[in-house]
Amino acid sequence: MDALFVAADGFNDRELLYVAQRLREEDVEVVKARDVGDGTKTTLDDGYDLVHVTGGERGEKERARVGDTVRHGTEDGALVTAVGEGVEVLVEAGVAGDRQVAARGDTAEKVRAVDGRAYDEPVVVDAKMLTTVGGDALAEFGAEVVRKVRRARLKDL
């Protein structure tokens, strides 16, 4: 199983490192990418079993590029996870409409604008989409991501 972690400028290290460590403990190959336009990482490859999107600040081009990766991931049956403002990428990708997500404030308003349902809950699971408001909820979120990965592996047996 391969996981793509996409980090934005100004993301909280815990949003990436905590979940990545939990997945590595499950022998998931974690590939980290930065979705910034400065040449650090400009291509976000498709074909991952899991796409994890951190919060942080993204420009319009970055949101669109990461949104394309998320959209392709959902079309290919990948598990999609997002933390905090990372949920806005799900909106941009067109995959948050008619879905349940964890979101607060402006992010929740953006979700509702596309007919999604935003809940101010620590973790929300909607089929193969897991979202969290972040912060103190990362332990609960990481545990739920691991449960989903284990279930996916059992289905593959």
What pLDDT, on a 0 to 100 scale, did the predictor assign at position 138? 92
The overall average pLDDT reported for the chain is 87
Range of the domain at 73: 2-156
Is the pTM value of this prediction over 0.85? yes
Least confident range of 44-48, 98-102, 138-142, 146-150: 44-48
What letter represents residue 16's amino acid? L
Per residue in 2-38, pLDDT (tens digit) is 899 888 877 888 888 899 999 999 999 998 876 544 4
The SS3 of residue 18 is helix
pLDDT above 80 (res 39): no
CATH number at residue 148: 3.40.50.880
What pLDDT, on a 0 to 100 scale, did the predictor assign at position 140? 95
The SS3 of residue 79 is strand
What pLDDT, on a 0 to 100 scale, did the predictor assign at position 46? 63
pLDDT above 70 (res 148): yes
Q: Token pair 């964890």 is at which residue?
A: 102
What's the Cα-to-Cα distance from 104 to each of 13, 38, 101, rounded to whole Å?
Answer: 20, 30, 10
Average pLDDT over residues 70-86: 91
The DSSP-derived string for 28-68 is: -EEEEEE--TTTTS----S--SEEEE--SB--HHHHHHHHH
Count of the separate structural domains present in the chain: 1
